Structure 1
Amino acid sequence: MEQASLQFRVVLLGAGRVAAQLAPALARAGHSVVAVWSRTLASAQQVAQGIGATAFGGSAPDLRSIPADVYLLCVPDDAAPAVLAAAKWPRHALVAHTSGALPLALFAACPAIRGGVFYPLQTFSANRAVDWATVPLCLEAADDADLALLTALARSLSQQVLVVATAQRQQLHVAAVFACNFTNHLLGIADALLAEANLPTDLLTPLVRETIDKALSQPPFTVQTGPAIRHDVATLLAHRRLLQAHPAWEELYGRLSASIQAQAAG
């Protein structure tokens, strides 16, 4: 992470988990978060609290009297097109969305503004601090000057700043869903199964840590273990019988086991 040599004025649109983490990080890096918008004023006020930002709400943000170097669009993906269309932007404003899935071409429908991408590759949760210095920030912009501005802003937060085009970023986002969201769901199933057996969930902690450490130190497919890769049919059938009270989990167990075997078979 570089010490911010430039202090940027930033407006955040959205007051969800990304904005809630970005706002204090930007302030700590020496930037001015001049305003936070959300459809719900109370949500905007919560994010703006303590950083000297103005909070405002409503269905269609009017930003023409709020000058900034960059407007960061931190709303859910399905809301982004409507917010872009409804907002009243300063002419030639630089607006960057924070999505892994949305294309840069999203901004083609708004020719009066300049578009960019400022995607933090991290999972964000309430009441859980993020070390922004370690968060990869993936950037994209059609204009070199806009990309330079986004790069300077990103480098003031993170040690990992990359220029990633839309197609690569979208595939990265799919990979992140497998690595993060699906993994978390599987851990949730494991917790539930342990609870049904009246066993403490921390029994799995050493196993989970070793699994992640091993997968991060070498290609994960090469270190696969378990009954599926061994073609241990008796154990696989026994496990599926134990899961019969949870048909969706039983089906998932079968599909994942088949995927492991197919991958190993090449």
Structure 2
Amino acid sequence: MKKLLFGFISIFFIASACRANNNPCGHVNLEWFESHAGMPESAEIIYKKKIGTLCETVLMIQGDPVSFYCSKDFFIQGQMFKDKKSLTNETFKSIEPLILAKRKNYVESEVKRTEQRKLFFKKNIKELDSMVSFQFGAKNYNRVIYFITDPNCSHCKKMLKVLGELSIKKGFLVKTVIAPILGEKSLNLGYRAVCKNFGYNEYKNLKDDGNPYICEKAVLLFKREKEFFKRADLNFVPFIIDGKGKWVVEGGNPELLKKKLASD
């Protein structure tokens, strides 16, 4: 699954500037959520309804409906029950056609964006190659793939292990691009890996030792990467690209990677 730059906890209390009124849904809009909790760019409010003093709100987030119950001072994410029945599920059923239509639009949009990213990397593969920090795999390789990874990403670490095994078994070379996009801890780990010229084994066992690391080489590299990935419309990891630009694998899906490798 993709490691996304978004998270929320089940109960998130916020200080709101909204004044109390008889309509608990009056102040609830996407800006209200974004200013206090942050939302992915795909988030969209598709339903609001007053339930007592709360506003039941359904957002489509990455193709799935997510329910929130909002007051003027806080919101709760989850399900609401009454008389042993899920009011949330009843709401979802009542707007099922809308949910299905929104999900279809999201899937089609993501397919298009994936294709656009694939074409971008195929066109700019030489620029990506200039950002490689280390490589590993078969000595006598018959193909090259690029692996974009964050040093603090659990899915990336799992995929790194899979690539280490598959590259020897299938005879390919993995060129690794370290992209610390998940926050300060990622950035410090990235500085350490790049500044100390870590290879596969060192990177595989990379852990935060509490010491800050920074060097000009890493600062310049990560600045270039940030601009490059913005052009590529890439804000998640892991991400794998075939060296000839034939295909990409978005997210930590080893089975999809194996299928792509077998298809060539």
Output the TM-score relative to the length of structure 2.
0.27
More helix by share: 1
Output the TM-score relative to the length of structure 1.
0.27
More strand by share: 2
